[in-house]
């Protein structure tokens, strides 16, 4: 499986095209109507240079993250990070986030999170992210998206 991290009760490995259906299921469970559709996830799976990692327990995917470098902005972006609700609270999101930061190797990383997702916001703040901008009515139901950013310096 090409495990990247195994010190936890789950493994972090690179996600690929064959993981597409499992990724979609994790997205659906974590985000419901906010989840990316299969076509968008396929595009992520085929995008060169995109970091795609999965968290796995007993050959079952329980988490997924995708990130990429935005050359125009000169930073990395976490595009999506999802942990299945039954696996939340075990540090999986944090491990996925930190592994993606390392893999991107950018001096700063950004992400967008629902204003009401206080659990995720708390995680990001504990990992060094700070609010820098608000995308008004970013989500389909009109809720704002908060842009958070972390400076890593000379990574």
pLDDT tens for each residue of 71-115: 999 899 999 999 999 999 999 999 999 999 999 999 999 999 999
**pLDDT for 48:** 94
What is the arithmetic mean of pLDDT over 125-148?
Answer: 96
Indicate the pTM of the whole model: 0.91
Contact 150, 107 (CB under 8 A): no
Contact 10, 1 (CB under 8 A): no
Rounded Cα distance, 65 and 93, in Å? 9
**pLDDT for 3:** 43
**pLDDT for 8:** 60
Place of tokens 């259906």: 21
pLDDT band at residue 154 using 50, 70 and 90 as cut-offs = low
Contact 81, 68 (CB under 8 A): no
**pLDDT for 6:** 40
Looking at the domain that runs over 3-151, which CATH code has it been given?
3.40.630.30
Share of the chain above pLDDT 70, in %: 94
* pLDDT tens-digit series, residues 42-73: 999 999 999 999 999 999 999 999 999 999 99
Tell me the chain's radius of gyration from C-alpha atoms. Answer: 15
Rounded Cα distance, 58 and 84, in Å? 14
- Could you tell me the residue ranges of all domains in the chain? 3-151
Torsion angle, alpha carbons of 91, 94, 100, 105, to 10: -130
Average pLDDT over the chain, rounded to an integer: 93
């Amino acid at each position: 499986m090409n495990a990247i991290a195994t010190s936890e009760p789950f493994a972090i490995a690179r996600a690929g095209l064959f993981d597409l259906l499992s990724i979609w299921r994790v997205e659906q469970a974590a985000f419901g109507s906010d989840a990316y559709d299969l076509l968008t996830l396929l595009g992520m799976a085929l995008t060169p240079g995109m970091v795609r990692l999965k968290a796995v327990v007993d050959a079952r995917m329980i988490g997924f993250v995708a990130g990429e470098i935005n050359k125009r902005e000169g930073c990395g972006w976490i595009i999506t990070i999802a942990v299945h609700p039954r696996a939340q609270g075990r540090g999986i999101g944090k491990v996925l986030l930190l592994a993606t930061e390392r893999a991107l190797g950018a001096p700063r990383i950004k992400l967008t999170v629902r204003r009401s997702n206080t659990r995720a916001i708390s995680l990001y703040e504990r990992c060094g992210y700070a609010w820098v901008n608000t995308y008004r009515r970013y989500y389909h139901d009109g809720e704002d998206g908060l842009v958070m950013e972390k400076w890593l310096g000379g990574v």
